[in-house]
C-alpha cells in the first residue's frame, strides 16, 4: 500500500496512463484521411492503421493481466509504457505503410500489458474504501474523457502540425510516467510460491483471440463466409475451446474460471461488451458524418466533439451521488439510457446540416458515457481477490475490445445487406451515407437498451443490499 506523500502523484501517473490509452484509440480517426494520403494507403489497407492496434490489444490482454499478477504490477507498467512509447515514436517516424502498421501493433501490445497493470496498481497503492473508490473513479473517468478528447486533439494536431503529431504527442507523456513510476508507485507483491507459466494456455488463448479478432475486422470487407476468413475464425474458435480445457487441467492456469462465479465481474464484462458495441462505434460514424457528409476539415471535425468531451468531464462528477442513490446497476442503466436518447437524437442529422445539429445528442451521450465507463470498472473489481485484479481487469477490457469489433462489424454488415451492394461507406454519396449513419445510430440505441436489461439482471445485487456491498457504494 502506498503510504507515502506521493499518493497524489501516483494517481496522476495512473490517470494519465488511462487517458493516453483511451486518447490513442480515437485520436487516429480524424488523422486518417491525411495519413492515408501521406503514405499512399488504399481504402482497404487504411483500416489496418486502426485494426493493427485492436488486434494486438485484444489478443494479448489476458496474458498481460496474468503477467501483471505474477511479475509485479509496477514492473509490468513500466515495460508496457516503454513499448507503448516506442510504438508511438515509430508511428510518428513512419515513412511506409508497413512501418506504420507495425508501430500500431506495438502500441496495441503495450496497451494490452498496460491496461491490467494500471487498475491493479490502484488496488495496491490505495486503501480499500473511500480512497480506493475515489482513485478508481478518477482513473476510469479518464478513459471516458480520453475517447472524446482524442478526436478534438487529433483534429488540432493534424491541421496545424501533421498526422505524425498524433503519434509524437504520446512520447513525452510516456517518458513523464516512466520517470515518476519508480518513485511514486509502490510495487505490488508478486505471487508467492513457485510461479507456473501456463505456456499452453497462453499460446492457445492468444492465437485464438488474434484469429477471432482478425475475422471480425476483415470479414466486413472480404465477406463473412469468405474462404480467406472463415477458416481462420473456425481455427480461432477451436483454439479458444482448447484453452478452456487446458485451463481446467492446468496447475497454474492463466485464468481461473472460478472468477466467473463472481456475478459482479461477469456482469461488468457483459456491460463492457455492450458499452463498446454502442458508445464505442459513435466515433467512427460521427467522424464519417462530419468529414464525408459535411466535408469538415480535420480541425472542424475535431472541434465538433468538444461538447461531448466537456459533458464527459461533467458526467464524471455525478458518479458518486448516483452510486449512493441508485447503486452500480442503476448508474450503469442510467448511463445506457442517456446514450440511447443521444443516439436517437443523432438520427435526425441532415445531409445538409451543420455542427450545431450534433451538439444535443453528443452532450447527452458524453454524460452517459462517463457514468457507464467508470462504473463498469468499479463493479468488476468488487469481490475480486487482490491476487487476481490484473486478470479481472483484462477480462473487462477484453469484453470492451471484442464488443467494439463485433459492434462495428455487425452494424457495417447490416448496412451492407440493406444496400445490397459492395459499396463502402467511405465511397457513398453524402445523402446515402447520412442515411446509413442513421441506421448505425438506431442499432446503437437498441444495444444500449440491451445494456439496461443486462445491468439490472447481472448487477442487481450491487447497490447496498448487503453490508459488504453497501460499503462499496457508500464509501465511494
User: What is the spatial distance between Cα 106 and Cα 53, in angstroms, rounded to a whole number?
Assistant: 8
Residue 473 pLDDT greater than 70, yes or no: no
Q: 266-313: per-residue pLDDT in tens? A: 899 999 999 999 998 898 899 889 988 998 887 888 788 889 888 988
Q: 382-395: per-residue pLDDT in tens? A: 777 766 777 787 88
User: What is the spatial distance between Cα 32 and Cα 91, in angstroms, rounded to a whole number?
Assistant: 13
- Cell numbers found for residue 226: 469468405
Share of the chain above pLDDT 70, in %: 89
User: What is the spatial distance between Cα 68 and Cα 122, in angstroms, rounded to a whole number?
Assistant: 13
Which position has the higher pLDDT, 44 or 155?
155
Q: Using the CB atoms, write b or e for 235-271: b if 16+ within 10 Å.
A: ebeebbebbeebbeebebbbbeeebeebbbbbbbbbb
Cα–Cα separations (whole angstroms), residue 83 to 120, 169, 243, 340: 19, 15, 27, 37
> What does the pLDDT average to over 444-473?
70
Non-local (6+) Cβ contacts of 131 within 8 A are none
Non-local (6+) Cβ contacts of 215 within 8 A are 229, 230, 232, 233, 236
pLDDT at 197: 66
Residue 341: pLDDT band (50, 70, 90) is very high
> Could you tell me if 72 and 190 are in contact, meaning their C-beta atoms sit under 8 angstroms apart?
yes
Average pLDDT, the chain: 83
Residue 420 pLDDT greater than 70, yes or no: no
Q: What is the 3-state secondary structure (H, E, C) of 404-459?
A: HHHHHHHHHHHHHHHHCCCCCHHHCCHHHHHHHHHHHHHHHHHHHHHHHHHHHHHC
If you search the block for the grid coordinates 492456469, which residue do you land on? Answer: 253
Q: 148-198: per-residue pLDDT in tens? A: 788 788 888 888 899 999 999 999 999 999 999 999 888 765 555 555 667
How is residue 251 annotated by DSSP? Answer: S
User: What is the spatial distance between Cα 72 and Cα 70, in angstroms, rounded to a whole number?
Assistant: 6
Residue 470 pLDDT greater than 50, yes or no: no
Amino acid at each position: 500500500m502506498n503510504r507515502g506523500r506521493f499518493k497524489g502523484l501516483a494517481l496522476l501517473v495512473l490517470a494519465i496512463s488511462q487517458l493516453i490509452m483511451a486518447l490513442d484509440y480515437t485520436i487516429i480517426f480524424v488523422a486518417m484521411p491525411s495519413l492515408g494520403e501521406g503514405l499512399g494507403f488504399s481504402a482497404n489497407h487504411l483500416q489496418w492503421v486502426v485494426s493493427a492496434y485492436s488486434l494486438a490489444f485484444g489478443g494479448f490482454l489476458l496474458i498481460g493481466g496474468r503477467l501483471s499478477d505474477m511479475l509485479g504490477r509496477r514492473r509490468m507498467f513500466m515495460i508496457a509504457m516503454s513499448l507503448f512509447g516506442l510504438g508511438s515514436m515509430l508511428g510518428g517516424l513512419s515513412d511506409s505503410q508497413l512501418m506504420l502498421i507495425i508501430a500500431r501493433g506495438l502500441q496495441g501490445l503495450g496497451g494490452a500489458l498496460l491496461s491490467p497493470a494500471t487498475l491493479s496498481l490502484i488496488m495496491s497503492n490505495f486503501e480499500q474504501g473511500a480512497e480506493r473508490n475515489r482513485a478508481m473513479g478518477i482513473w476510469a473517468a479518464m478513459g471516458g474523457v480520453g475517447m472524446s478528447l482524442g478526436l478534438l486533439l487529433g483534429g488540432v494536431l493534424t491541421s496545424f502540425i501533421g498526422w505524425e503529431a498524433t503519434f509524437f504527442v504520446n512520447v513525452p507523456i510516456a517518458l513523464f510516467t516512466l520517470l515518476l513510476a519508480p518513485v511514486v508507485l509502490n510495487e505490488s507483491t508478486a505471487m508467492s510460491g513457485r510461479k507456473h507459466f501456463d505456456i499452453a494456455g497462453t499460446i492457445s488463448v492468444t492465437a485464438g483471440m488474434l484469429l477471432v479478432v482478425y475475422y471480425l475486422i476483415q470479414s466486413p470487407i472480404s465477406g463473412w463466409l469468405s474462404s480467406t476468413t472463415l477458416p481462420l475464425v473456425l481455427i480461432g474458435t477451436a483454439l479458444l475451446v482448447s484453452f478452456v480445457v487446458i485451463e481446467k487441467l492446468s496447475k497454474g492456469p492463466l485464468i481461473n474460471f472460478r472468477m466467473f462465479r463472481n456475478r459482479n465481474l461477469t456482469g461488468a464484462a457483459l456491460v463492457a461488451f455492450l458499452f463498446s458495441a454502442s458508445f464505442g462505434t459513435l466515433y467512427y460514424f460521427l467522424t464519417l458524418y462530419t468529414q464525408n457528409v459535411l466535408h469538415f476539415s480535420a480541425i472542424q471535425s475535431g472541434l465538433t466533439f468538444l461538447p461531448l468531451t466537456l459533458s464527459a468531464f461533467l458526467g464524471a462528477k455525478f458518479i458518486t451521488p448516483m452510486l449512493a442513490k441508485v447503486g452500480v446497476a442503476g448508474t450503469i442503466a442510467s448511463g445506457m439510457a442517456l446514450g440511447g436518447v443521444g443516439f436517437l437524437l443523432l438520427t435526425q442529422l441532415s445531409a445538409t446540416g451543420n455542427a450545431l445539429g450534433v451538439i444535443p445528442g453528443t452532450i447527452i451521450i458524453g454524460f452517459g458515457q462517463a457514468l457507464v465507463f467508470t462504473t463498469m470498472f468499479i463493479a468488476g473489481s468488487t469481490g475480486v481477490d487482490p491476487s487476481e485484479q490484473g486478470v479481472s481487469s483484462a477480462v473487462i477490457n477484453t469484453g470492451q475490445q471484442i464488443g467494439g469489433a463485433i459492434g462495428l462489424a455487425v452494424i457495417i454488415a447490416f448496412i451492407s445487406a440493406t444496400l445490397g451492394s459492395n459499396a463502402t461507406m467511405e465511397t457513398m454519396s453524402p445523402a446515402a451515407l447520412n442515411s446509413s449513419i442513421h441506421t448505425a445510430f438506431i442499432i446503437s440505441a437498441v444495444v444500449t437498451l440491451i445494456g439496461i436489461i443486462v445491468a439490472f439482471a447481472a448487477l442487481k445485487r450491487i447497490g447496498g443490499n448487503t453490508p459488504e456491498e453497501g460499503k462499496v457504494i457508500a464509501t465511494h
